[in-house]
Amino acid sequence: MKEYRLPIIMLAVFEAVAITLWLTKDNLFYLFNFSYIGLSISLGIFLFIRKYKHARRIVQLLVGLYMLIYLGLICRENMQIEGFWYYLFTGVFEAATIHYAVAKIFGPLIFGRGWCGYACWTAMVLDFLPYKEPKEPRRNLGWIRYITFAASLIFVSALFLAKVGNIERIMFWAFVVGNIAYYGIGIALAFVFKDNRAFCKYICPITVFLKPMSYFSLIRIKCDKEKCISCGKCKRVCPMNVDVTDNSRKRENGTECILCMECVKNCPKKAL
């Protein structure tokens, strides 16, 4: 039972959030929404423990498609960063703001960038591309994320300052256009840099929240130095270029870890 501790903890965390929001907001949607996501993630971790090869991809598809198709396109909820600013400015603590608070701002204190490994609908598509292991060294382009972050904030602020009408509708179309742009840029960058996750490393504005919060993450991959033979395989297979052999929080690219477990699966000495 001890080996299933992590999926049980994850399920408990999500159920606690689901029940709390259901009762405090008096809205059954939150119970359904967070229970579904928690169950999907726990199922993925369970399958991983059972050594099922595609465990993470299953979770990505279960959560990513639910959020993109059901929440985004059917319920017309903008879950992109523009939607977060929009609901924040209107003072509405509803789906997008709650989603950000749980998955991208406070949640990473517990599960780091688990969102990026198991739930993001952008990465859900990028991870199908051929460069799962980066084929070129990481570039020093992370500053671009601050520009995209500022652009999203300026865009929504401008709508409010100009008192544009029917912002809800604009938000929906911003979601559609924004996603098409993310997929287009993400796929192009993956091929240019020979790295599926180039978009995540250089462009994604959400990492401005995710990186500092995940620095303190409770759940981390750790290295047993007694077993490690410094073969370097973990770093080679890591899609995010993390030096996971360094156990300190200051490890190279430590705030990039998406908990994908590729390093764990590939370590010949089971040191991770």
By CB under 6 A, name the one of 81, 120, 125, 174 that touches ligand SF4. 120
Q: Tell me the C-alpha distance between 211 and 244, whole Å.
A: 16
Cα 103 versus chain centre, distance = 7
Q: Tell me the C-alpha distance between 224 and 247, whole Å.
A: 9
**Position 258 contacts ligand SF4 (CB under 6 A):** yes
**Shortest Cβ distance from residue 119 to ligand SF4 (Å)?**
8
**Position 232 contacts ligand SF4 (CB under 6 A):** yes
Q: How many residues does the chain have?
A: 272
By CB under 6 A, name the one of 20, 90, 230, 247 that touches ligand SF4. 230
**Position 65 contacts ligand SF4 (CB under 6 A):** no
Residue 72 and residue 124 in contact, taking contact as beta carbons nearer than 8 Å: no
Q: Tell me the C-alpha distance between 169 and 213, whole Å.
A: 32
> How does DSSP assign 21-44, residue by residue?
HHHHHT-HHHHHHHHHHHHHHHHH
**Position 244 contacts ligand SF4 (CB under 6 A):** yes
By CB under 6 A, name the one of 57, 132, 194, 233 that touches ligand SF4. 233
Instruction: Decide whether 50 or 227 has the Cβ nearer to ligand SF4.
Output: 227
**Position 185 contacts ligand SF4 (CB under 6 A):** no
Residues 6+ apart with CB under 8 A from 35: 14, 15, 18
Tokens of 203: 């462009």
Tokens 């598509």 belong to which residue? 125
Q: Tell me the C-alpha distance between 69 and 76, whole Å.
A: 9
> What does the per-residue mask of binding to ligand SF4 show for 97-116, with x meaning CB under 6 A?
-------------------x
Instruction: Decide whether 213 or 260 has the Cβ nearer to ligand SF4.
Output: 260
**Position 228 contacts ligand SF4 (CB under 6 A):** yes
**Shortest Cβ distance from residue 138 to ligand SF4 (Å)?**
12
Q: Tell me the C-alpha distance between 4 and 241, whole Å.
A: 28
Instruction: Decide whether 19 or 261 has the Cβ nearer to ligand SF4.
Output: 261
By CB under 6 A, name the one of 207, 214, 217, 255 that touches ligand SF4. 207
Q: What are phi and psi of 227, to 5 degrees?
A: -90, -25
**Shortest Cβ distance from residue 147 to ligand SF4 (Å)?**
15
Burial label, 170 (beta-carbon count in 10 A; 0-12, 13-18, 19+): middle
By CB under 6 A, name the one of 11, 175, 221, 255 that touches ligand SF4. 221
Cα 4 versus chain centre, distance = 22
Instruction: Decide whether 212 or 268 has the Cβ nearer to ligand SF4.
Output: 268
Residues found near ligand SF4 in the complex (CB under 6 A):
116, 120, 122-123, 199-200, 204, 206-207, 221, 223, 228-234, 238-240, 242, 244-245, 257-263, 267-269, 271-272
